[in-house]
Copies of this chain bind each other. A is one copy, B any other.
Amino acid sequence: MAYACQGGKGLRGVLVVESARLFDIDGAEQAAAAVEALHAYSLVHDDLPAMDDDALRRGRPTVHVAWDEATAILVGDALQALAFRLLADPGCSPDPAVRADLVLSLATASGAAGMVLGQAQDIAAETAAQPLSLAEVMDLQRNKTGALIRWSAEAGARLARADTAPLSAYAGALGLAFQIADDILDVTGDQEKAGKRLGKDEGAGKATFVGLLGLDGAAARARSLVEDACDALAPYGDRAETLRELAGFVISRER
């Protein structure tokens, strides 16, 4: 479980901590750890032979390669339980209503109407009669990666029992920009730096933003989404500077 949680970018956890800072909440590390545990579980299961069958993740062998498939399934299962345990524990927030709200929203974002749905859509697309349309790819990504990024950015407002709408708008644009950058990285990236197998989308005949918009079109769309994301942070003024920088990082990253 520790191995699976190491070496990531920590984007989701940083979003939790930074969104909480907007509301002068300092103790958001436990909620940040929860979403990183949940994200790690999804990677361990997605990498399994029956799913994406990946041997490399975060620059190291995937869990089922370093151990075995049964261990990888159990590690993912236990990481999911850990995520909800961290959120429901009083150390996450002294207010039980906040804790219940964080659990409810993360369970919704990560379950059959969110992240798991997105992964199922992704797998179904591999054997679909025709490639997905742009609208379908956007819907898939909104579920597969967008739901968890949105939860992370909204978490600060949830911890403060504040309005989640501005952070939700920020995260909606950010999540899509993130996925477009991922698709660009899959084509133009350096596998050494990325720490995972690249070029796999084309190999699998998957519809991607690059395939649908072209490299330049995809890059332009990502830049425009980052602008939208930053605009959505206007209500927070200068306090949101780190979240704005994060949006820029998301499309300039090498992994």
* Closest chain B residue, CB of each to CB of A114: B81
Contacts of A254 in B (CB 8 A): none
Interface of A is mostly: helix
Task: Give A102-139 interface residues, CB cut-off 8 Å to B.
Answer: 103-104, 107-108, 110-112, 116-117, 119-120, 123
Report how far A40 CA is from B45 CA in the complex, Å: 18
Is there a chain B Cβ closer than 8 Å to A192's Cβ?
A: no
Interface centre among A69, A112, A120 (most CB of B within 10 A): A112
Q: Is A162 an interface residue (CB 8 A)?
A: no
B85 touching A104, Cβ below 8 Å: yes
Mark A41-82 against chain B: 1 for CB-CB distance below 8 A, else 0: 110010010110000000000000000111101101110111
A46 to chain B, nearest CB (A): 9
A97 within 8 A of B: yes
Q: Is A100 an interface residue (CB 8 A)?
A: yes
Our pick among B81, B87, B89, B96 for the contact of A116 (Cβ within 8 Å) is B81
Q: Given A73-B73, A77-B80, A96-B97: A107 and B85 within 8 A (CB)?
A: yes
Closest 7 CB pairs of A and B: A81-B111, A50-B69, A85-B107, A88-B104, A88-B103, A78-B112, A96-B97
Interface positions of A (Cβ within 8 A of B): 1, 41-42, 45, 48, 50-51, 68-71, 73-74, 76-78, 80-82, 84-85, 87-89, 96-97, 99-101, 103-104, 107-108, 110-112, 116-117, 119-120, 123
